[in-house]
Every structure is written in structure tokens, then in C-alpha cells.
Amino acid sequence: MDATVFAAYAAAQLADIAAILTQHGPAGGACCACGRPHPCPHVETLLRYRTHYQRCLTQTRQPQPRVD
């Protein structure tokens, strides 16, 4: 997978994560919107993946050192 393909993959993953995160969040009391106890373990996992893909995208966008 080259950098361009990976960047597109990571961006798609981030969009999916953002969409899924809209289904979670504090829903009053001690519950997440998904019905699990808050903080929801799914949110923690999604946020970890989001950080991972954001970091990968940042590194992918770094200009590559020239080798002349």
C-alpha cells in the first residue's frame, strides 16, 4: 500500500469512526447513548483508533527527505 492509498484508507477509517462516535456519548445518568455504562468501552477503543490514524496521516503528509 503506497502513501496515497494509505492516506485514503486512513481518511475513510476516520470518517467511519466519526460516524460511529455519534452513536455514543453521555445519555444522562451513568449510561452511554448506546446503553452501556458511561464511559463506554467502545468510545475508548474508537478514540484510540482515531488517534492512531490521525498520527499516521500526519506522518504520511510529512515531506519526505530528499536523497540527491
Size of the site for Zn ion (CB under 5 A): 6
Site string for Zn ion, 14-33 (x = CB under 5 A): ----------x-------x-
CB of residue 45 to Zn ion, shortest distance in Å = 10
Q: Which of 34, 46, 56, 57 binds Zn ion (CB under 5 A)?
A: 34
Q: Among residue numbers 35 through 54, which ones bind Zn ion (CB under 5 A)?
A: 36, 40, 42
Contacts 24+ apart (CB under 8 A), 48-54: 49/13, 49/17, 50/14, 50/17, 50/18, 50/21, 53/10, 53/13, 53/14, 53/17, 54/14
Site of interaction with Zn ion (CB under 5 A): 24, 32, 34, 36, 40, 42
